[in-house]
Structure 1
Amino acid sequence: MAHEQHQQLIQTLHECMEACNHCYDACLREEDVSMMADCIRLDRECADICAFLEQALMRGTLFASDLAAVCAKICEACGNECQKHDHEHCQKCAEACFKCAEACKEIA
């Protein structure tokens, strides 16, 4: 199967998607939600592109390197934004995003 060569990346993408979804949900519960707007927005974009790339790799997409390049860019942006916030969920999300960005760059 085509996706077997990308199994580790698929796992990393899934973990990043989960971290972003958790961060998104937790940010919505913060006292100053408006301060978290950029974080929330990037959490959504990052979770969506990670989920899409995960599914595309499972299907054996011919666009793996192109999609991975876009995913790496979004993951870095999300990680950089999350890193600005002291909340534990943001810090964990940033870590997952940076790990995912690096993994995506390997096939981009």
Structure 2
Amino acid sequence: MNRECIEACQKCATECEQCLDAMIDIDSNNDCPRCCRECIDVCLLCAQAMARDSRFADAICRLCADVCQWCAEQCGAHQHDHCQRCAESCRKCVESCRAMAA
């Protein structure tokens, strides 16, 4: 289960990176792509914390789930393919991180 969550965080960070890059010259009416920047950082931190079995992994997973939920809502509001992929990856990360933090 830990491996699954690490992979979900890594995939989410990658999808957010691609969304962030694609949104550089596109006007946004919400927090996309700002949320992607936050999500990338917390997803990578979360994957690292789980990989080293950090005593704070549960707390970081909870934070990661919250940030990914916000990002999923923001990116999911856009019709761009990259935003939809990002939002889907964020939703999967939320599910996995919440299960780890339970």
Q: TM-score range by the shorter chain?
A: over 0.9
RMSD, aligned CA: 1.2
* Cα pair 1:79 1:98 within 8 Å, conserved: yes
Cα deviation for residue 107 of structure 1 reads: 1.4
The gaps in structure 1 that reach 5 residues or longer are: none
**Shift in Å at residue 82 of structure 1?**
0.4
Q: Which runs of 4+ in 1 moved over 4 A?
A: none
TM-score, normalising length from structure 1?
0.88
TM-score w.r.t. length of structure 2: 0.93
Residue 27 of structure 1: aligned partner: 23
CA distance in 2, matches of 1:8, 1:36: 33
Contact map agreement 1:68 1:104 (CA 8 A) in 2: yes
Return the structure number with greater helix share: 1
Structure 1 stretch 52-61 or stretch 18-27: which is displaced more?
A: 52-61
Gap runs ≥5 in structure 2: none
Q: How far apart in 1 are the matches of 2:40 and 2:50?
A: 15
The CA deviation at 1:36 is: 5.6
How many residues get paired? 101
